[in-house]
Structure 1
Amino acid sequence: MTDAPPRAELLLDQEVPDDLRRELVAALDALGAPPARVHRVLDHRGAADIPWIVLVSLPLQAFLSGLGAEAVKDAYEAFKGVVRRASRPSEPAPGTLGAACRDRPMVLRDQASGLDVVLEADLPAEAYDRLVGLDLAEFTVGPLHYDRAQGRWRSLLDEAAG
């Protein structure tokens, strides 16, 4: 039996428009991510469920390592723009569920370790710069968030566990 080639999995909220879905798939493809399968979440979940707008599951350490290459610099800039747009969907109608769910982050999930890296819409450029050099082996439990005050990616659960 042969191993199937790695694939990226994208799980999109119902609020993500098709043009943004296409743009996200193209941005990941341009960055050398494995081909992506795209799925949509069911829209009958409760308000306390899934707090993200897009979940991208892929071999994350290899993906992050590839982002540091000079050849993908333009593609990386495009990816950051897609993250910002995905995390801030178009203005929902007042009083709708969408109005309460604005500014939900995109999450990158490592298929090997299960670690989640939370990409908020307003991350500073330095967060993306540090993301490229991030060694996921340093963490055991996620999610990883960028700490602006300390200028680093961290897992509060790892730190709490000692």
Structure 2
Amino acid sequence: MSRPDVIEADVSFGRDMPRDMSQRFLGTLSALGVHAPSPRPNVRSIEMLLILVILPLQAFLSSMGEDAYRALRQAIEDLFQASGAGGHKAAFQDRGTELQVLLEPGLPEEAYEQLHSLDLSRFASGTLSFNHGSKCWLWHPADGETAGG
């Protein structure tokens, strides 16, 4: 039975993720109020992802304070560094809409700050990625969707 103040998540790690790093990341999520009851084994089907976290995304992002964002950012950067994840990304996916937020190595702190205040209800599904040139999050609609709705 889940507690109301705990966010339930499904977590999958890429096939090359060292076990100690995956356990450390799960510990960080736990400290942020996220419980992954049974992390899935490392999987090959997420070839381009270092990690996939499926949870109620807006609730997760809006519940975190500034220190929590720093802890999350550091935990993700540690995963990237430990795995030598050239070209790989971390994905946080909304359980309801399947909207994905893609995080890449070296994202600036401002990206995480913007993510905290972003209203995800504006996006039905698709992908959000940070554009370094415009210094903002860009929405990439899923197949069959348009930017206008």
- TM-score, normalised via structure 1 length: 0.76
8 Å contact kept, 1:105–1:120: yes
Q: How does 1:44-59 map to 2 (within 5 A)?
A: 50-59=47-56
Report the count of equivalent residues: 142
Distance in structure 2 (CA, Å) of the matches to 1:8 and 1:141? 18
Residue of 63, 68, 74 corresponding to 1:66: 63
Moved more, 7-16 or 29-38: 29-38
Distance in structure 2 (CA, Å) of the matches to 1:131 and 1:15? 28
Q: What corresponds to 2:95 in structure 1? A: 111
Identify the structure with the greater strand proportion.
2
Distance in structure 1 (CA, Å) of the matches to 2:134 and 2:123? 17
Distance in structure 1 (CA, Å) of the matches to 2:37 and 2:134? 34
Percent same amino acid among aligned pairs? 30
Provide structure 2 residue ranges, at least 5 long, that are not aligned to the other structure. none
Name the SS of the counterpart of 2:93 in structure 1.
strand
Name the SS of the counterpart of 2:88 in structure 1.
coil
CA offset at residue 110 of structure 1?
A: 0.7
Residue of 115, 119, 122 corresponding to 1:138: 122
8 Å contact kept, 1:9–1:38: yes
Distance in structure 1 (CA, Å) of the matches to 2:81 and 2:146? 31
Q: What corresponds to 1:151 in structure 2? A: 135
8 Å contact kept, 1:8–1:37: no
Distance in structure 1 (CA, Å) of the matches to 2:58 and 2:133? 25
8 Å contact kept, 2:54–2:93: yes
**Structure exhibiting the larger radius of gyration computed from Cα positions:** 1
Against the structure 1 CA distance between its residues 64 and 36, is the aligned structure 2 distance closer, same or farther, given a 3 Å change threshold?
farther
Distance in structure 1 (CA, Å) of the matches to 2:115 and 2:147? 23
Cα-Cα RMSD: 2.3
2:70 maps to amino acid = E
Q: What corresponds to 1:78 in structure 2? A: 71
How big is each residue's C-alpha offset from its partner over 1:111-155, in whole Å with a ceiling of 9 and x where there is no partner?
111100001011111000001111111112321101122222121
- TM-score, normalised via structure 2 length: 0.82
